[in-house]
Amino acid sequence: MMASSTDSALYDKVVRVTKVYLGPAADRFISRQVQNHLHKPPQELLTSDLVKLIDWIRVSVALLTDDTDLIEEYTARLEQLTVSTPESGKNGP
Amino acid sequence: MANILIVEDDRDLNNAYSIILNSEGHTVETAFNGEEALRKAKIFSPDLILLDLLMPIMGGLEFLQAYKLIKLHPDVKVLIFTNMENSPEVAEAYRLGAQRCIIKSWTAPHNLARVVNDSLQAPSIPAKKSK
Amino acid sequence: MSIGDGVIVTDEFGKITRVNPQALRILGHKEDELLGQWFPQKIIAVNPQDKAIPLIDRPMAKAYLTGKSISEKSYYRVADGRVIPVHISVSPILLNNRPQGAIEIFRDITTEEGIDRMKSEFISLASHQLRTPLSSIKTYSHMLVDGYMGDLTSAQKKSLKTIIFASNRMNELISTLLNITRIESGAIAVSVKMLDTKRLTDEVLTELSLHASDKKITLSLRCTGKGSTRLKTDGLILKEIITNLLSNAIKYTPEGGNVSAKINARPNDIMITVTDTGWGIPKHDHDQIFSKFFRAPNVSKLETTGTGLGLYLVKGLLEELGGNIWFTSKEGEGSDFHFTLPRNYTGPKTDEYDPKVNKL
């Protein structure tokens, strides 16, 4: 099944949020997380994957900074994506 | 065609390289250690030096340092001869202005002649300034 | 895990929750100095020159990034300021498939390193001593064959070629052993210079032409791509890589076959492919082809002179140059070995990115 444009938009959104905190390394960081923990290409990231992805992002980022407030802020913004993004699988207009 | 100084402590190899380079039409002078090489270089004025690194009395690196200090022939090409590749000594030799490194046990006569001829034609690279 | 190993457990915030007496002993800390503290800050990982390594490159971070156990050598700066070599194994702790933290097991390998260093020095010395007489054998045999000492009969030339081949094999073995020891001890000194890969490959092909023509194998070289065939790398290491691959290709190709080298000069890197029409590698052996001492059974019956070290060495050397290697092969048809080299050498292959967390 081909990924609809909604799905790759989710990955891009995750990367955009991450860029604020990790800078230019964000794309590589997130794509590796998706590939290694969800075992799929980054563009196929689904809303239903986000909970697991955020879990792993949280522990990884916890080794890059000890600023727990910052980590909370970052992961909270990622969690917002689970509600604002439409369910995947619906066809685009 | 060119003046070549061979600095190599192994007599058999020194002899062999002389024969090979003589037959290419070059004028060859030989030395068996760095000290002898310094003495001969002053008189002989080489265009290219084949320099072994591991030698008794004065080794290749000491020779290079002394040679640079004397500033005798700034355009001379130096080819390092060794059996110890990837060593810090080779890296140091490059820093002192050596052009190339030749592994003795890998190099057949025709390749030696070719590398020498190629190096003679290549432009000189000045030694890197040390930090 | 043996009783001498240090153990540290961290939670999902990277804080140290448990630490065993051995870990405290190795690191020179007291328990209350470590418990509840942030792991990356208290356990300081450095390179051998005592420079801190990027947090994303630390084994624990890598374990989270991959979700797998990571086992590697590193260096810790301990409480009294000394830098000690350590071997680290880290695994993420999972509960219902969710990461809860990590467990790290490490040990001080200073003694092992000392032994490695002695082995390394011994091999270097022995190799140098072995190579000196070999240089004479090679040089004089070639000079005789090339007619420097007068004309020879064809029978005399044939005998000399036998001597040359045998001494080349010995040379290859010494080089392989020497380089493997160096790679494993981390003692490869890379000297980077601008060189022409086409000229280098040509040199190797010339060196191997005698061997190839003896097996009636045709050698060829071609260049494609719009970029230059020149790049900055270590010429001796690259020569060793190309020699190994071409020599393998010749060795594992029957009489009358073809071995070719292709240089593809691409914008960001150079890709070199060595192709042969040889016996090929069976699919079930593909996984192991770069393993130490591995020889595919289909060829070790036909060709007994291999050590199983060549490709292991090539892979190790390429990693030192920041390159990659892969291959395709079909049994009975031949193999293609491809490797790439970055146009500018920036160090051995590692994860180059270092994300630092910013405040909004």
Q: Which amino acid is present at B129?
A: K
Closest chain C residue to B95 measured between Cα atoms?
A: C191
For residue B31, give its domain range: 3-121
Domains of chain C: 6-108 (3.30.450.20), 111-187 (1.10.287), 190-352 (3.30.565.10)
Q: Under an 8 A CB cutoff, do C64 and A73 touch? A: no
The more confident residue out of C243 and C125 is C243
Across the range A53-80, mean pLDDT stands at: 93
Q: Under an 8 A CB cutoff, do A52 and C360 touch? A: no
Q: Under an 8 A CB cutoff, do C189 and B94 touch? A: no
Contacts of C47 (CB under 8 A, 6+ apart): C53, C75
**pLDDT of the residue at B100:** 86
Q: Calculate how close chain C gets to B17, using CA atoms only, in Å.
A: 8
Q: How confident is the model at residue C360 (pLDDT cuts 50, 70, 90)?
A: very low
In terms of C-beta density within 10 A (0-12 exposed, 13-18 middle, 19 or more buried), how is residue B95 classed? middle
**In total, how many domains does chain B have?**
1
Q: Which residues of C touch A52 (CB under 8 A)?
A: 97-98
Q: Which residues of B touch C237 (CB under 8 A)?
A: 86
**pLDDT of the residue at A3:** 45
Nearest CA to C45 out of C104, C112, C128 is that of C104
Q: Under an 8 A CB cutoff, do C131 and B105 touch? A: yes
Neighbours of B46 (CB within 10 A): 24
Domain positions in chain A are 5-84
Q: Under an 8 A CB cutoff, do C355 and A22 touch? A: yes
Q: Calculate how close chain C gets to A15, using CA atoms only, in Å.
A: 13
Q: Under an 8 A CB cutoff, do A36 and C67 touch? A: yes
Q: Calculate how close chain C gets to B125, using CA atoms only, in Å.
A: 12
Q: Is the predicted pLDDT of residue C352 greater than 50, yes or no?
A: no
Q: Can you give the CATH number for the domain in which B67 is found?
A: 3.40.50.2300
Q: Which residues of C touch A25 (CB under 8 A)?
A: 56, 353-355
Q: What percent of chain C has pLDDT over 70?
A: 94
Q: Has residue B93 been placed in a domain?
A: yes
pLDDT 10s digits, B11-23: 999 999 999 999 9
B63 and B84 Cβ atoms separated by less than 8 Å: no
**pLDDT of the residue at C355:** 56
**pLDDT of the residue at C121:** 76
For β-strands B48-52 and B77-82, DSSP reports them as parallel
Q: Give kind and range of the element (H or E) at residue C173.
A: helix C154-184
pLDDT 10s digits, C109-154: 998 888 877 877 787 787 778 888 999 999 999 999 999 999 999 9
Neighbours of C151 (CB within 10 A): 7
**pLDDT of the residue at B124:** 58
